[in-house]
Amino acid sequence: MRLDITGLRSGYGAGTVVNGVDLTVADQEVVAVVGRNGMGKSSLVKTILGYLPDVQGSVELDGAQQCGLRTHTITRRGVAYAPQEAAVFAGLTVRDNLYGGLRRHKPDARTTERLFDAFPVLAARLDQKAGTLSGGEQKVLLLTRCLLRDPRLLVLDEISAGLQPSMVNAVTDVLLAIRAERRLTVLMVEQNIDLCLSLARRIVVMKAGRFIAEAFRDTPDVRTTLLGHLAP
Ligand SMILES: Nc1ncnc2c1ncn2[C@@H]1O[C@H](COP(=O)(O)OP(=O)(O)OP(=O)(O)O)[C@@H](O)[C@H]1O
Ligand SMILES: [Mg+2]
């Protein structure tokens, strides 16, 4: 799925937080967004998902305008979103969190197997309340919930935050495999530069609501360049 963002502006009440963003993510491309705290990264992805009320500019999925549409309409078009904040249904079981709302859609068997292999805690605790999972386990629950929906565009907001290194590796491996098999397009906000460089060929830097730089994985010193943009 192709994503085209043009002249996007949005905010909360009086303040503009996303302040003129232009971005194209090609079909099956992975783009990472990095930036310091409070620069508008989460607000950008929430705007794409239809969560912010006052939006100017344009967000198109495969050429179809999404601005002004409700979130459930956008997700029905094949967008899956893992928010930065824990967003599991704590009082529901792990199973209901994973499969709730899937209706007739049957998750791809190979994808399902891959996810349960990578995150055995989910398989082991299917009948327990999701609220009993640790913060990191809730993150992989969210990711798994997204991937079982076989999205065409996957939007991740700091999926690696709070994960121990072995779990970050598992998330990286799962995303690399499923991205290729299911031909996913991915837009990921991410502070972990190594995860960015493992998955994304292109990384954009956000500052004060707009993109100020773009870096490519193949460029020499890309890691140092990106870390420079994130340094306080
Ligand atoms: N619900 C809200 N109401 C008012 N202001 C908000 C709201 N959510 C975020 N903001 C403000 O918008 C600005 C951008 O926040 P945002 O969460 O998009 O940044 P971010 O780049 O994702 O930061 P972080 O790296 O800490 O996740 C901040 O100044 C923040 O305080
Ligand atoms: Mg954020």
Instruction: Give per-residue pLDDT as tens, 10-21.
Output: 999 888 999 999
With the most atoms of ligand 1 within 8 angstroms of its CB, the residue from 9, 42, 55, 190 to mutate is 42
pLDDT for the residue 232 = 81
Nearest CA to 21 out of 227, 204, 186, 156 is that of: 204
Give the mean pLDDT of the chain: 95
| Domains of the chain with bracketed CATH | 3-230 (3.40.50.300)
Nearest CA to 159 out of 191, 129, 133, 185 is that of: 191
With the most atoms of ligand 1 within 8 angstroms of its CB, the residue from 12, 159, 160, 193 to mutate is 12
φ/ψ (deg, to 5) at 162 = 80, 0
Average pLDDT over residues 24-47: 97
Contact by Cβ (8 Å): 186, 175: yes
Q: What is the DSSP letter of 191?
A: S
How do residues 171-214 score in pLDDT, each as one tens digit?
999 999 999 999 999 999 999 999 999 999 999 999 999 999 99
- Among all bound ligands, the one having the nearest atom to the CA of 43 is 1
Question: In this structure, which residue's CA is closest to atom 31 in ligand 1?
Answer: 38
How do residues 174-185 score in pLDDT, each as one tens digit?
999 999 999 999
Token pair 């099956």: residue:
28
How do residues 39-70 score in pLDDT, each as one tens digit?
999 999 999 999 998 899 999 999 999 998 99
Confidence of residue 115 (pLDDT cuts 50, 70, 90): very high
Question: In whole angstroms, what is the distance from residue 201 CA to residue 196 CA?
Answer: 8
pLDDT for the residue 104 = 75
How do residues 219-228 score in pLDDT, each as one tens digit?
999 999 999 9
Contact by Cβ (8 Å): 179, 199: yes
pLDDT for the residue 77 = 94
Share of the chain above pLDDT 70, in %: 100
pLDDT for the residue 54 = 86
Examine the pLDDT at 103 and tell me if it is beyond 80.
no
pLDDT for the residue 132 = 97
**CA 207 – ligand 1 centroid, Å:** 12
Examine the pLDDT at 106 and tell me if it is beyond 90.
no
pLDDT for the residue 75 = 94
- Among all bound ligands, the one having the nearest atom to the CA of 47 is 1
- Is the Cα dihedral 170, 29, 228, 35 positive or negative? negative
pLDDT for the residue 137 = 96
SS3 of residue 88 by DSSP: coil
Token pair 């996007």: residue:
8
